[in-house]
Amino acid sequence: MNMKKKKDSSIFGIIGLGRFGTALAITLAEAGKEVIVVDQNEEKVKAMRQYTEYAFVCDNLSKEALSEVGIQNCDTVVVCIGSKIDTSILTTLNVVSLGVPRVISKATSQDQGAVLEKIGAEVVYPERDMATRLGKRLISGNFLDFIFLDNDIEIQQVPVSDSLVGKTIREINIRKKYSLNIIAIEHQQDTIIEFAPDYEFLEEDIIVVIGKLQNIRKFERAFS
């Protein structure tokens, strides 16, 4: 079963379900977008089936395998395989050669980014960009395009207010109450991308969230 292109609707493909890819896929799906997700890990793919019926396990990310799941029908594909550089480059090349109009690839270094750009992808450096404090908003050339993936989805930094200090991620229930996903927490000079639900917010923490702008504003107002 693969997703066929429908008239007047954008289809997004997410390849790689790490924290970044998962948060992005959930946010797009909850905003009512059509999403195809692909990963080699069966558990991660199973967990995504509550958000999209188009969640596929691919042992290899060859052109043929990606074509079988319908990646060529996407308008935008985000390749979220930053750490495995060879896999990232080959997968991006396969997606570009399938004729997808917009391919965005996550990179972890300038060298990797340069190669990805050469083969026709837009490049984002989420970890690096998250670590840069630019007020409340992430403003980096490539990342800004990425933030406005579909006009209403944004990635923003929200400084932890006094009323949030000492509360846990579980307590604030951000996904259920505000339809937002936390993709990182910045504390002083560190960017934390692996955190448990019982993480307690500290003074000077900055939460990096992804979701609809109106929901980000609602969350900010609730804890201002």
pLDDT digits (tens, 9 = 90+) for 3-16: 555 544 689 999 99
Closest CA to 52 of 83, 74, 81, 82: 74
Per the model's pLDDT, the better-predicted residue between 126 and 175 turns out to be 175
Segments making up each domain of the chain, as ranges:
11-124, 152-222
- Per-residue pLDDT tens for 159-213? 888 999 999 999 999 988 998 888 888 888 777 877 889 999 999 888 888 888 8
Identify whether the C-beta of residue 208 lies closer than 8 Å to the C-beta of residue 131.
no
> Is the pTM here over 0.75, yes or no?
no
Can you identify the CATH homologous superfamily of domain 152-222? Regulator of K+ conductance, C-terminal domain (3.30.70.1450)
pLDDT of residue 143 exceeding 50, the answer is: no
**CATH class of the domain defined by 11-124:** alpha beta
Q: At what angle do helices 110-118 and 85-97 cross, to 10 degrees?
A: 20
pLDDT at 35: 95
Q: If you average pLDDT over residues 137-154, what whole number do you get?
A: 45
